[in-house]
């Protein structure tokens, strides 16, 4: 490692997170840990003494982005910050990263970042600082308690890892096996967040609904039991969760959607493809029918639920007709929003060696058609809320004076102009107009006045 020009004892840091919400959560925990040790956060990358790139390995593009960022870390005067690569690229590539990018000082995997302070000291002494262990003792026990939050919404990781091994996916290798955090650890963290001003918590996991654990009386619980217990925290107004897997959608969790008012009417349930042969080749272990049956049952419990999904186009061997099946399932489910991706071949996954890799132009065309279908349903879903009254939780300021932006129960952004209100307020609004990506609302009490 080339350590000549990087600071030896960093006093300021900047964390930049890529990828999924679990990385955002990890980034916040790293920042809180370094803050508790007396370091201060810097607003922008290269100005900081230490830059932590909290990386994502899911698609090739995500990885390329990290290496181009590392390449841009030199300051105008020729010096550079100490550079740490954290997250899933760190786990997947380990010390290979510092061979490919000589200015990387620290490589730390997603299960080892509680050891960052020690790694910073080692890097400061010019020693190798690579830690991609997946220690048996969870990092969570070694992290400081949650501090006061700047926003009224927060993420809370309740389980990590994945045992599903979809044939295209790196997550089981970068995050390890499914491990649930304990009932008490989760409740304690949720209470600390609420004490710090949080009103909405999103429970996180790569397969969050696979969470399982004993409650304080030794009874086995699933995520529905956990949600019901969290709902008892009086200052907590809203509970969400993501990402869930169709196979872990238990009867209890489906029922909770009809019974627990704090559980928001939103379900992100990725299906990936609308064709059974492709689902089998992906090792998804659910069929189109079994997926649609879950959607039907959730809708019976909670008719207004907003559904969201993930799709991959151009999986190896996907024919035109098989892709058309994906368009069909989008029309059947009528999603409120979706994420869609071109298949990206990942080294070490079974799909990377499959026959029938699809040409880039074919993937581009399929993605455009899929996104057009998704957008059509998104517009329909948003338009259907016009004229309705609903509660929104105000999360941030808008661009104009007096403008505030909140989220509806269905996770839509709602803009209002209300100088008398503030961030963290829950207000009833009437939706007055809808666009593809956001809604405009008017506080109900002003209308009544
Ligand atoms: N555990 C979640 C998703 C985690 S990854 C689930 O199974 O639903 C987030 C999304 O990235 C996946 O749902 C999938 O749509 C996409 N994805 C994963 N690997 C990919 C790859 N190799 N190429 C393209 N998209 C991929
Ligand atoms: Fe990846 Fe499949 Fe696990 Fe989701 S369920 S993280 S897509 S292996
Ligand atoms: Fe990316 Fe790792 Fe999340 S690969 S999507 S950051 S689990």
Distance 239 CA to ligand 2 centre (A): 23
Q: Indicate if 66 and 85 belong to the same structural domain.
A: yes
Which one of the ligands is nearest to 20 CA? 3
Query: Which of 165, 315, 349, 351 gets mutated to test ligand 2 (max ligand atoms within 8 A of its CB)?
Result: 165
Distance 169 CA to ligand 1 centre (A): 6
Answer whether 173 contacts ligand 1 (Cβ < 6 A).
Answer: no
For ligand 2, atom 2: residue with the closest CA: 166
Q: Which of 131, 154, 171 delimits the end of a domain?
A: 131
pLDDT in tens, 36-75: 999 999 987 778 999 999 999 999 998 999 999 998 888 8
For ligand 2, atom 1: residue with the closest CA: 169
Q: How confident is the model at residue 3 (pLDDT cuts 50, 70, 90)?
A: very low
The confidence score (pLDDT) of residue 2 equals 46
Q: Indicate if 306 and 340 belong to the same structural domain.
A: yes
Q: Indicate if 334 and 188 belong to the same structural domain.
A: yes
Q: Indicate if 196 and 73 belong to the same structural domain.
A: no
Here the CATH number for the domain that contains residue 417 is 2.40.50.140
Structural domain of residue 104, as residue ranges? Answer: 3-131
Tell me the average pLDDT across 195-209. 97
Nearest by Cα to 257 from 219, 297, 291, 298:
298
CB environment 172-204: b (16+ within 10 A), e (fewer)? bbbbbebbbbbbeebbebbbbbbeeebbbbbbb
Closest-lying ligand 3 atom to the alpha carbon of residue 92: 4
Q: Indicate if 29 and 169 belong to the same structural domain.
A: no
- What's the whole-number average pLDDT of the chain? 94
Answer whether 314 contacts ligand 1 (Cβ < 6 A).
Answer: no
Which one of the ligands is nearest to 344 CA? 1
Distance 240 CA to ligand 3 centre (A): 19
- pTM (two decimals): 0.95
> Which of the 8 DSSP states describes residue 333?
H
Q: Indicate if 52 and 196 belong to the same structural domain.
A: no
Compute the C-alpha angle 283/288/291, nearest 5°.
Answer: 95
Q: Indicate if 68 and 49 belong to the same structural domain.
A: yes
Say if CB 3 and CB 126 are below 8 A apart.
yes
Q: Which of 108, 131, 154 delimits the end of a domain?
A: 131
The confidence score (pLDDT) of residue 305 equals 98
Q: Indicate if 122 and 170 belong to the same structural domain.
A: no
Answer whether 323 contacts ligand 1 (Cβ < 6 A).
Answer: no
Q: Which of 352, 383, 414 delimits the end of a domain?
A: 383
Q: Indicate if 105 and 203 belong to the same structural domain.
A: no
Distance 244 CA to ligand 2 centre (A): 10
Here the CATH number for the domain that contains residue 251 is 3.80.30.20
Here the CATH number for the domain that contains residue 48 is 3.40.50.12160
Which residues are CB-neighbours of 50 under 8 A, at least 6 positions away? 7, 10, 12, 13, 14, 34, 39, 81, 82, 83, 84, 120
Q: Indicate if 78 and 37 belong to the same structural domain.
A: yes
Answer whether 87 contacts ligand 3 (Cβ < 6 A).
Answer: yes
The share of the chain scoring above pLDDT 70, in percent, equals 98
Q: Which residues lie with the beta carbon below 6 Å from any ligand 2 atom?
A: 162, 164-166, 169, 171-172, 206-207, 245
Which one of the ligands is nearest to 339 CA? 1
Q: Tally DSSP H helices, then E strands, for the chain.
A: 14, 21
For ligand 3, atom 7: residue with the closest CA: 171
- Number of folded domains that form the chain: 3
Q: How confident is the model at residue 4 (pLDDT cuts 50, 70, 90)?
A: low
Answer whether 268 contacts ligand 1 (Cβ < 6 A).
Answer: no
Q: Indicate if 179 and 258 belong to the same structural domain.
A: yes
> Which of the 8 DSSP states describes residue 181?
P
Is residue 29's pLDDT more than 90?
A: yes
Q: Indicate if 376 and 406 belong to the same structural domain.
A: no
Residue with tokens 């600082």: 129
Answer whether 207 contacts ligand 1 (Cβ < 6 A).
Answer: yes
């Amino acid at each position: 490692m080339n350590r000549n020009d990087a600071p030896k004892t960093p006093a300021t840091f900047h964390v930049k997170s890529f990828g999924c919400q679990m990385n955002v959560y990890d980034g916040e925990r790293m920042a809180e840990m370094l803050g508790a040790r007396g370091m201060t956060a810097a607003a922008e990358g290269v100005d900081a003494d230490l830059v932590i790139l909290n990386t994502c390995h899911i698609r090739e593009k995500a990885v390329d982005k990290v290496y181009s960022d590392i390449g841009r870390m030199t300051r105008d005067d020729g010096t550079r910050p100490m550079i740490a690569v954290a997250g899933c690229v760190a786990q997947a590539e380990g010390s290979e990263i510092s061979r490919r990018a000589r200015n990387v000082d620290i490589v730390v995997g997603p299960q080892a970042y509680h050891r960052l302070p020690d790694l910073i000291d080692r890097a400061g002494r010019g020693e190798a600082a690579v830690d991609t262990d997946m220690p048996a003792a969870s990092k969570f026990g070694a992290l400081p308690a949650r501090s006061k939050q700047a926003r009224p919404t927060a993420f809370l990781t309740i389980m990590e890892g994945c045992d599903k091994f979809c044939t295209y996916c790196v997550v089981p290798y970068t995050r390890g096996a499914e491990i649930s955090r304990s009932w008490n650890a989760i409740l304690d963290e949720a209470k600390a967040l609420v004490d710090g001003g949080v009103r909405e918590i999103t429970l996180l996991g790569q397969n969050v609904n696979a969470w399982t654990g004993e409650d304080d009386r030794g009874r086995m619980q699933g995520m529905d039991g956990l949600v019901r217990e969290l709902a008892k925290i009086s200052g907590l107004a809203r509970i969400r969760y993501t990402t869930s897997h169709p196979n872990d959608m238990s009867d209890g969790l489906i029922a909770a959607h009809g019974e627990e008012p704090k559980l928001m009417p939103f379900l992100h349930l990725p299906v990936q493809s609308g064709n059974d042969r492709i689902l089998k080749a992906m090792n998804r272990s659910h069929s189109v029918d079994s997926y649609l049956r879950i959607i039907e049952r959730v809708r019976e419990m909670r008719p207004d639920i907003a559904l969201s999904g993930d799709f991959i186009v151009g999986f190896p061997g996907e024919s035109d007709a098989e892709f058309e099946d994906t368009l069909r399932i989008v029309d059947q489910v009528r999603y409120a929003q979706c994420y869609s991706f071109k298949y990206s071949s990942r080294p070490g996954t079974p799909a990377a060696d499959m026959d029938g890799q699809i040409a880039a132009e074919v993937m581009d065309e399929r993605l455009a058609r899929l996104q057009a279908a998704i957008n059509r349903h998104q517009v329909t879903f948003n338009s259907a809320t016009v004229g309705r009254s609903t509660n929104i939780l105000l999360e941030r300021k808008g661009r104009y004076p007096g403008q505030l932006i909140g989220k509806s129960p269905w996770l839509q952004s709602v803009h209002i102009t209300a100088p008398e209100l503030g961030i963290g307020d829950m207000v009833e609004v009437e939706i007055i107009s809808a666009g593809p990506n956001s809604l405009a609302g008017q506080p109900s009490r002003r209308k009544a006045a």
